[in-house]
């Protein structure tokens, strides 16, 4: 049996989805300080990809664009991240399986019409309580920006993770199987 035959991952590109893509794990600009991915490509499970389309529409109606930091993360990549920083508040234990490794989670932000990222108070993957949704130690304007993102993503049908302003996932994400790098014909790693 072809291991790719039941793959329901869809590639997400700027051209096909009208998003910006800045995959942090394909660069050294992530908490490991090294690229984790060999290829800077973004995939989502088809079910999550449909919700992304709705979020893109809702964001555009308010003058924003979506910038993606991460989507599908092969299980091998989850191990790399976990082995570097085994922090269960900010990383899923790969023995349990990450929702990213199921293709049903996405890390993202909003970009204003002028091309600037909205100020969300912390960088992507800032492993600090300041990254929590609802944190009131950040300026009110930043809280408002996070609320806009949360509102758009919630209206599009996404669930959120309370400790990461950038992370959204399908409500029933655990029902999807954990996928490895070999799920994709060319792989990411």
Confidence of residue 18 (pLDDT cuts 50, 70, 90): very high
pLDDT tens string 91-113: 999 999 999 999 999 999 999 99
Whether 86 maps to a domain, the answer reads yes
Residues 6+ apart with CB under 8 A from 146: 120, 121, 133, 138, 165
pLDDT tens string 126-150: 999 999 999 999 999 999 999 999 9
Whether 189 maps to a domain, the answer reads no
Whether 88 maps to a domain, the answer reads yes
Please answer whether residues 55 and 153 qualify as being in contact, where contact means their C-beta atoms are separated by less than 8 angstroms. Answer: yes
User: Could you list the residue range(s) of the whole structural domain that residue 41 is in?
Assistant: 9-181
Whether 161 maps to a domain, the answer reads yes
Whether 1 maps to a domain, the answer reads no
Task: Give long-range contacts, CB 8 A cutoff, 24+ apart: 116-119.
Answer: 117/67, 118/64, 118/145, 118/148, 118/149, 119/145
User: Residue 69's domain is classified under what CATH number?
Assistant: 3.30.1380.10
Of 11, 49, 113, 164, which is the active-site residue?
164
**What token pair was written down for 68?**
């993606």
Q: How many domains does the chain have?
A: 1
| CA geometry: angle 22, 37, 118, nearest 5 deg | 20
Whether 186 maps to a domain, the answer reads no
Q: What is the value of pTM for the model shown?
A: 0.95
Whether 93 maps to a domain, the answer reads yes
Confidence of residue 2 (pLDDT cuts 50, 70, 90): very low
Q: Is 29 exposed, middle or buried (0-12, 13-18, 19+ CB in 10 A)?
A: middle
pLDDT for 188: 96
Q: Does the annotation count 164 as an active-site position?
A: yes
């Amino acid at each position: 049996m072809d291991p790719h035959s039941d793959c329901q991952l869809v590639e997400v590109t700027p051209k096909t989805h009208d998003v910006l893509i800045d995959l942090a794990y394909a660069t050294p600009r992530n908490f490991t300080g090294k690229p984790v991915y060999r290829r800077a490509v973004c995939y989502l499970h088809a079910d999550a990809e449909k919700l992304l389309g709705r979020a893109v529409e809702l964001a555009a109606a308010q003058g924003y664009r979506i910038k993606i930091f991460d989507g599908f993360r092969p299980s091998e990549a989850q191990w790399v991240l976990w082995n570097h920083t085994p922090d269960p508040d900010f990383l899923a234990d790969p023995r349990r399986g990450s929702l990213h490794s199921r293709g049903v989670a996405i890390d993202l932000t909003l970009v204003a019409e002028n091309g600037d990222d909205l100020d969300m108070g912390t960088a992507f993957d800032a492993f600090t309580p300041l990254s929590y949704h609802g944190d009131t130690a950040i300026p009110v304007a930043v809280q408002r920006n996070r609320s806009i993102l949360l509102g758009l993503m919630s209206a599009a049908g996404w669930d959120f993770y309370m400790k990461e302003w950038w992370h959204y996932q399908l409500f029933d994400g655990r029902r999807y199987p954990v996928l490895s790098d070999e799920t994709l014909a060319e792989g990411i790693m």
